[in-house]
Chains A and B, each alone.
Chain A
Amino acid sequence: MIYLNLFITFFKIGLFTFGGGYAMISLIQTEIVVNKQWIDAATFTDIVAISQMTPGPIGINSATYVGYTVTGNVWGSALATFAVCLPSFIIILLIALLYKQFKQNRWFNAALKGIKPVVVGLIASAAILLVTPDNFVDWKSWALFGGAFVATWWGKKSPITIIIVAGLLGLLLY
């Protein structure tokens, strides 16, 4: 039963991800942390951090990780990863068949135009939902948040640099 549940959940995530990795975060979070409660918000934040430091897309990384923690074995990982990719197979193969018509489809583009502002809201929700007592334990957490924000926005530092420095500071401060 847990396998079927895992499959359906990640299939849904694959099917409704528009606007890339960060938009996917709020979808994964609502499904896995809020609804199914397979992992808590702190663990989910850790997965996002690990995804940023390791190669590969966050969708694959979370599917693999969550599949493993939920079932405790490799098959859970493989099933969740397969499920998150399956909608892409169906949709891209369909599009490849109807390539020409699809490219100029004004209805499809109109729908996408409506989704775009929603994606902005999805990413904002992902950030807000991660502001939990586990992730922000004291004023030092907020200082780290502020520092990371400034370094990314004005300093144009890469996510890897930010995560490594924040990890070292965590070791020093806590």
Chain B
Amino acid sequence: MNIYLQLFSSFAKIGAFTIGGGYAMIPLIQREVVERKKWLDKEEFLDVLAISQSAPGILIINISIFIGEKMRGVKGSIVSALGSALPSFIMILVIAYFFENYKDNEIVARIFQGIRPAVVALIAVPLITLSKSANLNIYTSFIPIITVLLIVLLGISPIWIILSGALLGLFHFYFTRR
């Protein structure tokens, strides 16, 4: 099979079968590109993963662009990204079409009335694990608190806070290196 077609179909498969996004996708991607297709070895895959995680953007899109580029340059990256985005694009388009027409339906409204608070809980739970992995200490735990106050109370865009966080990291490194 043509390599472009292979890239497209491999990433479309990953895009179509990983629910929940992000980290749930990683073992599936690894099985497909390392074990089945042998496009990368394990070491290279871990490098791709580390860089895709630290670059901004959507993780699976970053990974597919990176692997596509390694295989067939810019054209390969476009085909791979298209493959991973297309299944959710089509599915959400269909759902958006129906949901916009049915969300005022009494049954649908009742179901989503129950789902909404649960979604807030789904977002709140990872906070606990994430605060642990961010290695917060007495000094750095002020950062998330200030972030919340700026966003929730003052309506400041997260973009400015992310940039400030990056600058803070750079200053800290500049003054503490050697």
Q: State which of A93, A128, A142 has its C-beta within 8 Å of the C-beta of B152.
A: A128
Complex contacts, A12 vs chain B, CB 8 Å: 159
Q: Are A92 and B19 in contact (CB under 8 A)?
A: no
With CB as the reference atom, state the residue of chain B lying closest to A50: B95
Consensus secondary structure, chain B interface: helix
Contact of A158 among B20, B113, B140, B174 (CB under 8 A): B20
Task: Note all chain A residues with C-beta closer than 8 A to B69.
Answer: 92-93, 96
Do A120 and B134 touch across chains, with their CB atoms under 8 A apart?
Answer: yes
B34 within 8 A of A: no
Task: Flag whether B117 is at the interface (Cβ < 8 A).
Answer: yes
Whether A127 touches B120, Cβ cut-off 8 Å, given contacts A54-B19, A64-B96, is yes
Q: Say whether B165 contacts A120, CB under 8 Å.
A: no
- A45's contact among B50, B59, B119, B141, by CB below 8 Å, is which? B119
Q: Is the CB of A126 within 8 A of B123?
A: yes
Total contacts A-B at CB 8 Å = 355
Interface size class of A (residues with CB under 8 A): 35 or more
Contacts of B95 in A (CB 8 A): 50, 54, 65
A113 CB to closest chain B CB, in angstroms? 5
Q: Is the CB of A60 within 8 A of B110?
A: no
Could you tell me if B166 and A168 are in contact, using CB atoms closer than 8 angstroms? no
B12 to chain A, nearest CB (A): 11
Whether A88 touches B162, Cβ cut-off 8 Å, given contacts A74-B93, A148-B122, is no
Q: Is the CB of B130 within 8 A of A119?
A: yes
- Number of residues in B with C-beta < 8 Å to the partner? 97
Q: When A52-B20, A81-B85 are in contact, do A129 and B143 touch as well, CB less than 8 Å?
A: no
CB–CB B121/A152 < 8 A: yes
| Least distance between A63 CB and chain B CB atoms (Å) | 9
Closest to B143 in A: A117
Smallest CB separation, A117 vs chain B (Å): 4
Q: Chain A residues with Cβ under 8 A from B70's Cβ?
A: 96
Which residue of A is nearest B19, CB measured? A55
Partner of A174, one of B21, B47, B113, B147: B113
Chain B residues with Cβ below 8 Å from A61 are 88, 92
Is A60 within 8 A of B131, CB to CB? no
Cβ contacts under 8 Å, B10 to chain A? none
**Binary per-residue interface labels of chain A (128-140) against chain B in the complex, 1 for a CB within 8 Å, 0 otherwise:** 1111001111000
Q: Determine if A85 and B85 form an interchain contact, defined as CB atoms under 8 angstroms apart.
A: yes
Q: Can you list, as one digit per residue, whether each of A148-161 has a CB less than 8 Å from chain B (1) or not (0)?
A: 11001100001110
Q: Is the CB of B61 within 8 A of A60?
A: yes
Residues of chain B within 8 A (CB-CB) of A130 are: 116, 119-120, 123
| B114:A111 contact, CB within 8 angstroms | no
Task: Say whether B169 contacts A68, CB under 8 Å.
Answer: no
A/B interface sample: 12 pairs, CB < 8 A:
A17-B57, A22-B123, A56-B18, A60-B58, A69-B100, A107-B173, A114-B165, A118-B158, A141-B113, A145-B118, A168-B114, A170-B114
Top 10 A-B pairs ranked by shortest CB distance? A170-B114, A114-B169, A56-B88, A121-B147, A110-B173, A121-B144, A166-B118, A88-B57, A148-B121, A118-B165
